[in-house]
Amino acid sequence: MASTPASQPGAKTNRIGLTTIEYKGGRTTLCAGCGHNAISERIIDAMFEMGVKPERVAKLSGIGCSSKSPAYFMSRSHSFNAVHGRMPSIATGALLANHNLLAIGVSGDGDTASIGIGQFMHLMRRNLPMIYIIEDNGVYGLTKGQFSATADLGSKLKTGVINDLPPIDTCALAIQLGATLVGRSFSGDKKQLLSMLKAAIAHNGTVMLDVISPCVTFNDHEGSTKSYKFTKDHDEPLHDITFVPSFEEIDVEYQPGELIDVTMHDGSRLKLHKLEEDFDPTDKVRALTRLAEAHEKGEVLTGVFYINTKAPNFVELLNMPDEPLATLPESLTRPPKSALDECMEALR
Ligand SMILES: Cc1ncc(C[n+]2csc(CCOP(=O)(O)OP(=O)(O)O)c2C)c(N)n1
Ligand code: SF4
Ligand SMILES: [Mg+2]
């Protein structure tokens, strides 16, 4: 278990009086330069800036280098490292027991799109209120760099092996199945990733972020389509993103028609300055078409592809009481003996 870092006297505090160090985790054991480390840093920044109480957060993961990373942020939070590809069912159980938790799942492209694809699909269609991050490097980093199911057709391994299967686009899948905030970012794009993570914290449904996160040890060479160089050279952002939390008031000036302004559940605002004239992230069909076009053109399309702030989430659909099941007294969660007797009587 990661140790709790010491406090930082005199350091900047956030709206709940904590310093950044109180959002940190244990020292990383991942390779220097691994994209996953940069994502952990952005999660720390986003949680700090949004003033999230660490004890309210549940970190969940599966197996892989990516799935190890929750140990490297927010040591004061709850944490569960599940079996390979099975984090969604653990997350579902945890949230049904206590929907006051802010759940953040960190998975890999192998953990999600290979062994875990079945669980992933059901999580997306339920719109469970959680943040699901795929740290996507196109390979199984932990087991020494075999292609995963998100590897692009024609991408080359260091050994010269070429991938001859088409990739699964986890964003298209998530949109089609029912996730309500879906986007793609790059571990090397600090500003975009931070804004997307802050919006993710404010959202009240399933957030699925596929973050291209190069594996410097096994997939960062010439011929790889998930390397730092390839991603930087082919990055096509759909918009500039500004996230304005409900507790701040910032005016962003743009000409009429240039800005898409989405008001979120808690009153926060997601302001998307359009770089593409006709892209509307509330239009599901358009989002899927644009992703398909990106594949055809070999673009690494980034940004918020789809957002729906109106769809009911899984907790709402199940009509759960406001008080979490985990803290309800037994008298309210367990039917009395008379109810069982009545039931048995009816079966006679
Ligand atoms: C049931 C099971 N099958 C296979 C493995 C071996 N294994 C460990 S991690 C991994 C893939 C990890 O890839 P990914 O999720 O992309 O994470 P990365 O290491 O690239 O961050 C595999 C196949 C395992 N641990 N458990
Ligand atoms: S092997 Fe790859 S994915 Fe794993 S820690 Fe190293 S760089 Fe990151
Ligand atoms: Mg991987």
Among 139, 131, 142, residue whose Cα is nearest residue 73? 131
Q: Tell me the C-alpha distance between 282 and 261, whole Å.
A: 11
Tell me the domain boundaries of the chain.
20-347
Tens-digit pLDDT profile for residues 107-136: 999 999 999 999 999 999 999 999 999 999
**Which residues lie with the beta carbon below 6 Å from any ligand 1 atom?**
63-66, 84, 108-111, 115, 135, 137, 139-143, 148
Question: Measured in angstroms, how far is the CA atom of residue 156 from the centroid of ligand 3?
Answer: 15
Instruction: Look up the CATH number of domain 20-347.
Output: 3.40.50.970
Query: Is ligand 2 within 6 A of the CB of residue 140?
Result: no
Mean pLDDT of 89-104: 98
CB distance 321 to 328 below 8 Å: yes
Question: Measured in angstroms, how far is the CA atom of residue 288 from the centroid of ligand 3?
Answer: 24
List C-alpha distances in Å: 68 to 62, 95, 106: 8, 21, 9
Q: What is the pTM of this model?
A: 0.95
Residue 253 banded pLDDT, cuts 50, 70, 90: confident
Tens-digit pLDDT profile for residues 183-233: 999 999 999 999 999 999 999 999 999 999 999 999 999 999 999 999 999
Residue 98 CB: number of other CB atoms within 10 A? 17
User: What are the backbone angles phi and psi of residue 77, rounded to the nearest 5°?
Assistant: -90, 170
- Report the side by side order of strands in the sheet with 269-274: 239-244, 269-274, 259-263
Percent above pLDDT 70 for the chain: 98
Query: Is ligand 2 within 6 A of the CB of residue 141?
Result: yes
Q: Which atom of ligand 1 is nearest to the CA of 148?
A: 16
Range of weakest confidence among 52-61, 213-222, 255-264: 255-264
Q: Tell me the C-alpha distance between 189 and 262, whole Å.
A: 22
Mean pLDDT of 318-326: 94
